[in-house]
Homo-oligomer: A and B are copies of this chain.
Amino acid sequence: MNAYPVFFVSDRTGLTSENMGNALLEQFIGIPFKRATYPFLDTPEKAHALVQIINQAAEQGTRPLVFSSVVNNEIRAIVTTANAFHLSFFDAFLGKLEEELNAPASHIVQSRVQNVEKYDARMEAVNFALNHDDGISDKDFQAADVILMGVSRSGKTPTCLYLALQYGIRAANYPLTPEDLDTDDLPRMVKNHQNKLFGLTIEPDRLHHIRQERRPDSGYASLKTCRQEVADAQAIFRRHRIPFANTTHKSVEELAVEILQACSLKRRF
């Protein structure tokens, strides 16, 4: 079966059309797709050039799929002339929403006046995550929105960074050391911040694999150590009623949303 040529088209970043298109394509298991993204399609010239590319793909025999989130009416109209199956996000929804709100849509690409604020919130959160990676002082934890706790290589750092970049959340992290895992108490440093704690756990096999990459054939990486540390960490989470998630089969996106829910956190921008 020839792969369907798929075009994600946007006059902005293309993230919305990629998102929309992939959510739909995921529903068709076993059908091959060949994806390409065309962002910043913001002039009629670029649109005409893309139409040619789509038409050339169509000539190979399989009608292309075009997922468009182009805001500009003129550009969108040009794209629609391509020989393809078109799903246009704004065509499908914008008219209905105009009716409901009884107001005209601006039909212009969003202005970016608020980006300085948004950028500041992000920068602050990213710097927080970077400076507080593998937690340092109690003062740091006071300023945190959430403290991710888990054994070494359980996925704390990427999750902290994602929370910072995507939601402007100040996420600190606390690595559970072998000493921490040996006691029944919560580690001294996080004891006073129990309401901010969220635990990350991971399947021992997976942890073993990750640690092997880092320090091959060490005690640290051995399956036995991994099993013991994970069991101890989960016991701590349960004993102290710390909500926790298993990172093994979850994307960073899923983990982040789960943490926001469990800790009642809201995006900062």
Contact = CB atoms under 8 A, between A and B. Distances in A.
Contact of A23 (B26, B65, B69): B69
A229 to B, nearest CB: 18
A69 B93 CA distance: 13
B26 A110 contact: yes
Contacts of A130: 130, 133, 157
A106 interface: yes
A100 B14 CA distance: 23
A115 B249 contact: yes
A94 B39 contact: no
B161 A126 contact: yes
A27 to B, nearest CB: 4
Nearest to A22: B16
A106 B23 CA distance: 12
B106 A29 contact: yes
Contact of A252 (B19, B89, B122, B249): B122
Contact of A28 (B4, B28, B97, B250): B97
Given A20-B89, A31-B101, A161-B165, 4 more contacts: A19-B20, A20-B93, A85-B97, A85-B100
Contact of A16 (B20, B63, B96, B155): B20
A71 interface: yes
A124 to B, nearest CB: 9
A27 B71 contact: yes
A3 to B, nearest CB: 12
Interface in A69-111: 69, 71, 85, 87, 89-90, 92-94, 96-97, 100-101, 103, 105-107, 110
A69 B24 CA distance: 10
Contacts of A14: 257
